[in-house]
Amino acid sequence: MALTTSFFIIALLVVSIWVIIEFKRMKHKIFAFFLIGLIIFTYATFTISLQGKNVTLTTVPGMIDAGKLYFSWLGSVFVKAKTVTMYAIGIDWKDYNESVISENTKNESVWDKLK
């Protein structure tokens, strides 16, 4: 009986140590996926923001102009996202328009509606 209990405790400790190590490894994987996503996002948005502009990235002034264009574009994207979010928050999301419902149907119970 004592052997079974000690084996169970040791097995529980081994499993808990293994889970802790895997959790730490998972945190590193999530961070790596985040960094990869950030790099892809930056590259894609950089190419989109400079599309159609005559900017050369081979000279220092061209790189400065490209940086100004990119950060200006990125700032405008965040401002537009804020505007859309504030508009969505301000919308009345109810299924019905309260001003259309008459006074007689407001106080009617569900049982009365079924009759």
Q: Does the pTM exceed 0.85?
A: no
CA distances from 12 to 15, 18, 21, 93 (A): 5, 10, 14, 50
pLDDT at 68: 92
pLDDT means over runs of 10, the chain (115 residues): 72 83 81 88 88 86 91 92 90 66 57 65
CB 55 within 8 A of CB 65: yes
pLDDT at 99: 58
- Residue whose pair of structure tokens reads 């309260």 in the numeric block: 98
pLDDT at 7: 75
**Residue 69 phi/psi, 5° resolution?**
-65, -45
pLDDT at 83: 92
